[in-house]
Chain A
Amino acid sequence: MNQSATCPIPPRDWRRWIRTALMGLGLPLCFAVGFAAIGWALHSRVPPIRARKVSDKIEAFHAGGDAFDTLLVGSSRTAVQIVPSEFDAAMAARGIPTRSFNLGLEGFRPPDDTMVLERALEKRTKPLKFLVVECNPVESVLEKEDRWTSPYIFTHDARRLGVYWRQIWAHERSLDMKIRFTAHLKHVTNYLPEFVVHFRHFVWNECRISRGSQLLLASLTGQPQGEKPRACPPDGFYVKDRPKKILQGAELTRYRRKLAERIALPPGIGHGDRVSQDELLAKKALAERHGATLVLVSAPFLKDWVFTIREADGVIVLDYSDPSRFPELYSPGGRMDFGHLTAAGARIYSRTLADSIAEALKPRTPSP
């Protein structure tokens, strides 16, 4: 059979175009393969960057061995507001002895906190009692000034990149309400450029960019390059980091106005989007793997809506977002700024948290 009759040879121009198109796609692909191959080789042989505070906290937790049985995870609202010693004392008073470690980090929200948690628990052999996690939805948009800081680069691995990719397509309230197409489109166009930043962080972290220079200079000059280690307190709570200030001026006025609004109308509960729920499930799985009870906490903060887990079975959910129920946590005198408590406020919060956990663990008496 004559092949050319059924499959005519394209004219010369077509062939040229096809060849150009194949080259246009194929050569960048080959470039990427070459880059990835060396990147992977470097990744497997060279340690990652040291991230200020993050690496210090993880190392301090590892150094403590299995002495700790409770881990406190979250953003600054955990890092500076839950005092492990206060928490442990209050738990002990309730007959539940604990030894807690504060793994909270300023600005760390999901999926970053999950990554830190994974790293902290990877060497763990003994079971945990409690895993206290600040409940936040996934946050893909990084603060401009934080973008190129080492803690953010440090958290960018393949799993986190996958989370950011899925977050592009999931509107932050998609499980709670019907999202209009235009709102969804706006979300996608906002998040796509952000993903490019995450992708660069991922390549930077995974291909160990600049690590060779740092290590070479460190061995040449005898001085560690990059982020200098910062001694971490044994319980992970940096007392000195708390600025000694109190809410005042215009910020106080704004706070009072918002507080009045929230007392009049307490925030609603929401489940965010599928990606954020999956992050909570990942933490739940980690807690189960390490024999811990997962405690999800909505920190005392004036929010418009409170994010919580959908599948709450076996999880203690504690919500401090309603100022009318916890007035002592919302007193302007106990506030350092709009979103954070003073040292005195943090002590109250730590004890309140311990009391709530102990209360939640009490066996319920069946009603007659």
Chain B
Amino acid sequence: MIAAALARPVLFVEFRFLWIFAIILGMHWALRNHTARKVWLLLASHAFYTCFFIGNPAEFFPNLFAGKWAALPEGWWFPALLWFSTGMDYAVGLGIEGAKTERGRKIWVVASLIVNLGVLGFFKYYGFFEENVRAVVEWLGLTPGWEPLRIFLPYGISFYTFQSLSYSLEVYRRHLPAERNFLNLAMFIAFFPQVVAGPIVRAMTFLPQTRINPLWKNVDVRGCLILFFTGFLKKACIGDTLGTVSDSYFAAPESYSAVSAWIATLCYAGQIYCDFSGYTDMAIAIARMLGYELCANFNFPYFSASVTDFWRRWHISLSSWLRDYLYISLGGNRGSKLFTYRNMLITMLLGGLWHGASWTFVLWGGLHGLALIVHREWVARTNGIAAVRAAMRWLAVPVTFYWICITWIIFRSQDVRIGGEVVRHGYDIAGQALRSFVLFDANGGTKSVCDPMIWWILAALAAVHFANSRRWLSRWWRLLPAWAFAAVLGAGWALALFMKPTVYKQFIYFQF
């Protein structure tokens, strides 16, 4: 029964996750010894991560022990990469601290960067690189003399690589002592609530938590239950429903009207936010139930008053990582205006590339970089003009949101592949969708992607989101007596399950 439950990736939204988590949680709090708890969580985390790759354990392990390599699923050995990353960073941490000279410290940290980014680069970007080289060779009229290598991207590699890099960099910058307890470091990197899709937890915030034995009495059970429920609602009920509408549009944007382009783009904006922030809410709630705190990842990003503000509110763990370890390492704003802008652009281009090996992601990052520069210039030039300030009070949020929506179109427009072959390029889809969205020119497309009722749904969702941003909805359930809270939660789950899709869509950020 357990083997069957772990036969495919366990998603937080699935029912089987509940009882798997119940076992993990029960055992975690039943153990009194701190080390035993950490060992248990580490084993559970690796089991959780491993089930993304090995298929049915009841078939996998007999095949493995019998040496039937061909019968093993593709990428079955990827969980070993997590151990490799952990072991290497453990050694690097000790190496940096033990180095006698500054040069020695640098060699260790560079080694960590090369290996971590090398592994990430190979798995994530080799195919992209090879495809582009092939295109150039063909453009030159030559025939590529090599066969393309099919590389399967390990789940969560972008997240845990950045997480383990944060450890090496913090030790190198002397912000953190090297971790001598391997168990603590291994748990930090593999902790199952965040290993697959973040948030990208910093060593500085998580490692100190591994040194204190958590207490059940400090767990805010009610808050955790509500946060998990909210995450489920966002991901399963809202994100997946909106996703169905946007998927229909982006499959063939040329068939649909300009109004449909607007609907699909707004639906995608809602989907990606609900999908990712819903996952994050669930991850944070799960970690809190186990006595650990993960960092926040979202802060009502669609109410941002500028692109700069947006990046302080969207995927905060990634944007702050890029700021602290890339932008500042490049020199940040300690130089001329042009130097600062260059750093901003590089950071955002690489941030775009982090999301996936595709030119549309690079373009998406580049557009955000340009927007950050434009915003900086705008602020500098209009500073002190009262009329502009007054206008911006009303226009800043909608203009920013409009821009974000434009960039989401590019983000969403990925190559359509059938059997590995590109049958439609992402830029082609993006071009058509942007033309409809920005210029209201649908190029002959007249179909409607869905019923006009969607506007009411989107307006209702926006109103709830606004109310929540003002904390109007986040307190009342604390005032209920325990029995009433349990009954209301039960009623809420009945409604949420009524609205959940029959088949869940994969979490969007799993592919990154």
Contact = CB atoms under 8 A, between A and B. Distances in A.
Bound pair (A, B): yes
Interface of A: 23, 26-28, 30-39, 42, 46, 193, 200, 207-214, 216-217, 219-222, 225-226
B288 to A, nearest CB: 19
Nearest to B1: A193
A213 B491 contact: no
Contact of A216 (B241, B248, B490, B491): B241
Given A27-B483, A33-B490, A35-B494, A220 B245 contact: yes
B502 interface: yes
Contacts of A36: 490, 494
Report whether over half of chain A's contact residues are helix, strand or loop; otherwise say mixed: helix
Contact of B499 (A37, A213, A221): A213
B501 A35 contact: no
Contacts of B494: 34-39, 42, 207
13 contacts: A23-B482, A26-B486, A30-B490, A31-B486, A37-B487, A38-B495, A38-B498, A208-B498, A210-B497, A210-B500, A212-B499, A219-B451, A220-B450
> Size range of the interface on B?
20 to 34
B489 A34 contact: yes
Contacts of B502: 210, 213-214, 225-226
B454 interface: yes
Nearest to B483: A30
B65 interface: no
Given A30-B487, A210-B498, 16 more contacts: A26-B486, A30-B483, A30-B486, A31-B489, A32-B490, A33-B490, A35-B490, A35-B491, A35-B494, A36-B494, A38-B495, A208-B498, A213-B498, A217-B244, A220-B245, A220-B450
B508 interface: no
A49 to B, nearest CB: 9
Which of B245, B487, B489, B495 counts the most A-chain CB atoms under 10 A from its CB? B487
A277 B491 CA distance: 38
Interface of B: 1, 15, 237, 240-241, 244-245, 248, 449-451, 453-454, 482-484, 486-495, 497-502
A26 B482 CA distance: 10
Nearest to A219: B451
Nearest to B482: A27
Nearest to A222: B451
Which of B237, B248, B494, B495 counts the most A-chain CB atoms under 10 A from its CB? B494
B241 A217 contact: yes
A193 B499 CA distance: 27
Contact of B483 (A26, A193, A200, A210): A26
Given A219-B453, A222-B451, A226-B502, A35 B244 contact: no
Which of B1, B483, B498 counts the most A-chain CB atoms under 10 A from its CB? B498
A219 B484 CA distance: 34
Contacts of B453: 219-220
A31 B490 contact: yes
Contacts of B454: 220
A213 B248 contact: no
A33 B487 contact: yes
B487 A34 contact: yes
B245 to A, nearest CB: 7
A214 B497 CA distance: 12
A233 B474 CA distance: 55
Contacts of B240: 213
A212 to B, nearest CB: 4
B493 A213 contact: no
Contacts of B492: 34
Which of B1, B450, B486, B493 counts the most A-chain CB atoms under 10 A from its CB? B486
Q: Please give me the 6 A-B residue pairs with the lowest Cβ-Cβ distance, nearest first.
A: A34-B490, A34-B487, A38-B494, A35-B490, A30-B486, A31-B490
